[in-house]
């Protein structure tokens, strides 16, 4: 069984594509598609890496990350944020919330894989 | 403004037309010729009995000498002085200024009007730039589609061995996403094409419906003829409306028109006219006569006001989240297009106490502050179900007033264009005070 990645994203076709890429690379991928209960899902799944979209129904990725950092501690869970909002203020907000990697859409599959490997290895 | 539009110049003109000498007219009204000379050269203010006497001697109505553009110019100069900030113009010499330097006065008036016009444009554009959810959502959607397509296309192109069912699924996803991308970009392009026209671009199904309603002046004779609305071809009607360009707008228009049709059946126009003659705007009595909820009375009166009442009434409706869902505008009560509205509106207070109507006088802040009487009520929508919290719609009927009561509440349009700096409800700075 490979390392566990939890992907929280609300666009079904992006979920399918990322799940496929990561699964092929040996990761065990779990997915979730809304922000309402995302924190509970993370706490239950205990992933080795969290990939988190920013704009989610119910609760934003920033809010979820802030909540997780308050409970997990800043270093425990590597988090990669995906967003179509690449502005400086969004990056700053993500860094302030405790993100490990900020990836702007659209990204390539190779970039995504490389980032995931790096985050878990470190 | 031409010099001859001023009172003194008019007196001089009329005296010349009557063939009278300056000394002759002065003697007739009991003043010195030199004083009349000052008046005729707009260097002395004139009004009251002296103006009436001069008008009588010249055989004209006093208003012909005193009213018109001069009064409008002085009123505008006073308005400009009121918003002058640190500058302190000599208000007590405003007539002398207009009289002695009409060209400069006209320039000041023109500049004042131009500033007001530019402020309105700036407010609209800033409102759009900072709050335009349509633009932000469209861009996000486009980037999301592009991400899905890029990732899926890479999988299909680069994966050496892919199971047939996965291959088929990704091809289907690719087809689906590319179609959605095409729709999103088309909408975005048509939106940006209209961005140069501050007033005309339609950005959402709701705005398309509002444009359609405004084109018909909210009046649809087909829905007013007894039970005609029952057999009315709503879908066919909306399909012919040029303002409704998207399916979402057409669906929303059908829902809105069905509601207006049902209101017309519940409160037929002629009966409403009779009741208004008998009891005026007594909403409780109108409800009792027609056996309808107050929201129906608000909707119906707003729609019929343009033809049945001496003045047009405005109507605003929102859902439980405060999102404005229907706007029938009334002059002087601006309703924001993109940003959230003023939280002090009775519309939102009514949301806190469903089924308890609110009646409140308000004054809208800003350059053209105007008084209104607002009637608001919140009612549940849908069918009641056990152990389920209802959803609410709140309605506010906006009635223009001649003058405000001393205790009228000051309300705005939205924070970005509201000059009330010490408002406890302020969410963000105002561009009118703090600049862009």
pLDDT tens per residue across span B290-347? 999 999 999 999 999 888 888 889 999 999 988 888 889 888 888 887 668 899 999 9
Pair B300, B264: CB distance under 8 Å: yes
Token output for B69: 């553009």
Looking at CA atoms only, how far is residue A110 from chain B in angstroms? 9
Contact B144 A11 (CB under 8 A): yes
Query: Exposed (0-12), middle (13-18) or buried (19+): which is A6, by Cβ within 10 Å?
Result: buried
- β-pair partners for B6: none
Q: How far, in Å, CA of A18 to CA of A15, rounded? A: 5
- CA dihedral (B361, B319, B315, B204) in degrees, to 10, reads 130
Q: Which of A13, A14, A84 sits opposite B176 (nearest CB)?
A: A13
Binning chain B into helix, strand and coil, the percentages to the nearest 5 are 55, 10, 35
Q: Match 């000599």 to its residue by tokens.
A: B90
Contacts of B126 (CB under 8 A, 6+ apart): B416, B431, B436
Token output for B193: 């094409």
Pair B105, B81: CB distance under 8 Å: no
Helix (H, G, I), strand (E, B) or coil at A84: coil
Q: How far, in Å, CA of B412 to CA of B152, rounded? A: 49
Length of chain A: 122
**Chain A contact for B177, CB < 8 A?**
yes
Contact A109 B144 (CB under 8 A): no
Convert the pLDDT of each residue in A36-86 to its tens digit.
899 999 988 889 999 999 888 888 899 899 988 887 655 679 999 998 866
Token output for A100: 């490990």
Model pLDDT, residue A19: 95
Pair B267, B292: CB distance under 8 Å: yes
Helix (H, G, I), strand (E, B) or coil at B257: helix
CB atoms within 10 A of CB B358: 17
Q: How far, in Å, CA of A25 to CA of A16, rounded? A: 14
Q: How far, in Å, CA of B276 to CA of B285, rounded? A: 10
Model pLDDT, residue B422: 80
Q: How far, in Å, CA of B397 to CA of B314, rounded? A: 6
DSSP annotation of B391 reads E
**Chain A contact for B147, CB < 8 A?**
yes
Contact A105 B144 (CB under 8 A): yes
DSSP annotation of B387 reads T
Q: What percent of chain A has pLDDT over 90?
A: 52
Pair B317, B393: CB distance under 8 Å: yes
Q: Is the dihedral of CA A111, A114, A115, A116 positive or negative?
A: positive
- Strands laid side by side in the A79-83 sheet: A28-32, A4-8, A49-53, A79-83, A101-104
For B162, phi then psi, to 5°, come to -130, 135
Residues 51-110 in A contacting B (C-alpha not used; CB under 8 Å): 55, 84-85, 105-109
In which band, very low, low, confident or very high, does the pLDDT at A91 lie, cut at 50, 70 and 90? confident
DSSP annotation of B330 reads B
Contact A105 B177 (CB under 8 A): no
Q: Match 């003045």 to its residue by tokens.
A: B311
Domain count, chain A: 1
Model pLDDT, residue B249: 86
Q: How far, in Å, CA of B436 to CA of B434, rounded? A: 7
Contact A108 B154 (CB under 8 A): yes
Q: Which domain holds residue A112?
A: 4-121
> Distance from first CA to last CA of chain B, Å, rounded?
32
Q: What CATH number has the domain bearing residue A106?
A: 3.40.50.2300
In which band, very low, low, confident or very high, does the pLDDT at A33 lie, cut at 50, 70 and 90? very high
Token output for A77: 């869970």
Q: Which string of b and e fits A28-48 if b means at least 16 CB within 10 Å?
A: ebbbbeebeebbebbeeeebb
Token output for B226: 């007894």
**Chain A contact for B129, CB < 8 A?**
no
Token output for B17: 């037309």
Give helix B294-308 / helix B269-279 axis angle, nearest 10°: 90
Model pLDDT, residue B434: 46
Given a cut of 70, the residues of chain B with pLDDT beneath it are 1-5, 67-72, 83-86, 120-137, 190-203, 226-229, 338-339, 366-368, 431-436
**Chain A contact for B111, CB < 8 A?**
no
DSSP annotation of B327 reads E
Model pLDDT, residue B436: 39
Q: How far, in Å, CA of B105 to CA of B102, rounded? A: 5
């Amino acid at each position: 069984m490979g390392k566990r990645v939890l992907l929280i994203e609300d666009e079904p076709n992006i979920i399918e594509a990322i799940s496929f890429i990561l699964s092929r690379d040996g990761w065990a991928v779990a997915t979730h598609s809304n922000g309402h209960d995302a924190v509970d899902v993370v706490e239950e799944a205990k992933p080795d890496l969290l990939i988190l979209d920013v704009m989610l129904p119910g609760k934003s990725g920033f809010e979820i990350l802030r909540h997780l950092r308050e409970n997990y501690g800043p270093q425990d869970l590597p988090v990669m944020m995906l967003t179509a909002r690449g502005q400086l203020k969004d990056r700053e907000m993500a860094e302030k919330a405790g993100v490990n990697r900020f990836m702007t859409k659209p990204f390539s599959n190779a970039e995504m894989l490389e980032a995931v490997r790096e985050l878990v290895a470190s | 403004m031409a010099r001859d539009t001023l009172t003194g110049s008019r007196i001089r003109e009329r005296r010349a037309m009557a063939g009278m000498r300056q000394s002759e007219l002065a003697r007739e009204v009991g003043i010195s010729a030199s004083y009349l000379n000052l008046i005729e050269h707009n260097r002395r203010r004139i009004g009251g009995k002296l103006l009436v006497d001069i008008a009588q001697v010249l055989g004209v109505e006093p208003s012909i000498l005193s009213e018109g553009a001069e009064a409008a110019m002085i009123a505008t100069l006073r308005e400009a002085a009121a918003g002058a900030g640190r500058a302190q113009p000599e208000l007590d010499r405003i007539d002398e200024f207009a009289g002695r330097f009409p060209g400069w006065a006209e320039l000041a008036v023109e500049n004042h009007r131009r500033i007001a016009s530019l402020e309105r444009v700036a407010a609209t554009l800033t409102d759009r730039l900072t709050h335009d959810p349509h633009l932000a959502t469209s861009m996000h959607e486009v980037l999301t589609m592009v991400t899905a397509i890029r990732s899926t296309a890479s999988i299909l192109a680069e994966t050496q061995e892919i199971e047939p069912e996965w291959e088929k699924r990704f091809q289907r996803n690719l087809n689906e996403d590319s179609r959605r991308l095409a729709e999103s970009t088309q909408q975005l392009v048509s939106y940006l094409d209209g961005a140069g026209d501050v007033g005309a671009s339609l950005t959402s199904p709701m705005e398309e419906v509002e444009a359609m309603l405004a084109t018909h002046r909210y009046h649809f004779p087909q829905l007013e003829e007894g039970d005609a609305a029952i057999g009315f071809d709503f879908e066919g009607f909306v399909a012919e409306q040029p303002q409704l360009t998207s399916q979402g707008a057409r669906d929303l228009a059908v829902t809105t028109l069905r509601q207006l049709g049902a209101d017309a059946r519940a409160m037929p126009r002629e009966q409403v006219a009779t009741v208004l003659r008998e009891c005026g705007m007594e909403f409780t009595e109108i409800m009792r006569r027609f056996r309808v909820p107050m929201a129906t009375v608000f909707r119906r009166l707003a729609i019929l006001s343009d033809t049945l009442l001496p003045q047009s009434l405005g109507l605003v409706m929102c859902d439980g989240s405060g999102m404005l869902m229907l706007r029938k505008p009334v002059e002087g009560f601006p309703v924001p297009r993109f940003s959230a509205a003023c939280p002090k509106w009775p519309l939102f207070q009514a949301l806190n106490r469903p089924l308890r109507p609110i009646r409140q006088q308000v004054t809208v802040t800003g350059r053209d502050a105007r008084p209104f009487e607002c009637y608001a009520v919140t009612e549940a929508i849908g069918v009641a179900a056990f152990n389920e919290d209802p959803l609410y719609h709140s309605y506010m009927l906006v009635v223009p007033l001649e003058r405000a009561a001393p205790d009228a509440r000051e309300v705005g349009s939205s924070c970005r264009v509201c000059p009330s700096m010490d408002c406890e409800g302020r969410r963000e700075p105002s561009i009118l005070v703090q600049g862009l």
